[in-house]
Amino acid sequence: MAHAEQERRAQFLQEAAHLLVVPSPAAAAFLGRARDRAVQDADLEISPKEYDAYRRDICGACGNVMVPGWSCRVSIRSPSRSASYKQNDRKKAVNAPETRTVLECLRCHRETIQTLPPKPRRQVRTSRSRTELQPATEVKLARKVGDDAIIKTANATSKQRQKARKGGLQAMLEKNKSQSTGLGGFDLMDFAM
């Protein structure tokens, strides 16, 4: 029970910090730092994904709510080619180096660095041979018989399709008219020209 209560308290402090970021940044920073202390004191288990998201939102040193361009500066750094060659002299790895997002808090000037995984490489598929692409003759015959009904409607001209729609609408109007004639009242179609 105490564990769930501590989680609710930490969530409340985080939401309160976000609500107060514009009217009172100092109070928001205090609440953000209080949330950090509450999580550390209670030894709450936080998933790595949730922890990374929280580190993007709130500074780990001062508790400042980091809003890009207002209370923090965001930059993306990729390792230089010379540094990556020095590290991979022996390995000569094909993988692209990981880029890092750097969030600099404008209140305490602490840098929070988060690595971004490289984009997955596209897998090139090999093309199938011509024999695999050609269907069997039995399948062709079965398709031809089933497609005859579809071809008639698919090849109809726009005028033929319009006539079919109009005929369907007229049938619906006639049905409604026959049902409403027993009522003896006027209908909108009585005034049509």
Is the model's pLDDT at 27 over the cut of 90?
A: yes
Q: Are strands 72-77 and 99-105 parallel, antiparallel or unpaired?
A: antiparallel
Q: How do the domains of the chain map onto residue ranges?
A: 2-79+90-116, 134-183
Cβ proximity of 10 and 39 under 8 Å: yes
Query: Cα separations (Å) of 43 from 34, 79, 133, 169?
Result: 14, 35, 60, 70
Beta bridge partners of 72: 68, 105
Give residue for tokens 């003759």.
137
Cβ proximity of 102 and 108 under 8 Å: no
Residue 72 is inside which H or E element, if any? strand 72-77
Q: Are strands 111-116 and 72-77 parallel, antiparallel or unpaired?
A: unpaired
- Token digits for 109? 């000037």
More confident site: 180 or 74: 74
Q: What is the pLDDT of residues 120-153, one digit of tens each?
A: 778 877 765 555 555 555 555 555 555 554 555 5
Instruction: Return the closest-CA partner of residue 59 out of 11, 98, 21, 89.
Output: 21
For helices 2-19 and 25-42, give the axis angle rounded to 10 degrees.
160
Q: What is the pLDDT of residues 70-124, one digit of tens each?
A: 888 988 887 766 555 555 554 544 555 678 889 899 889 899 888 877 777 788 7
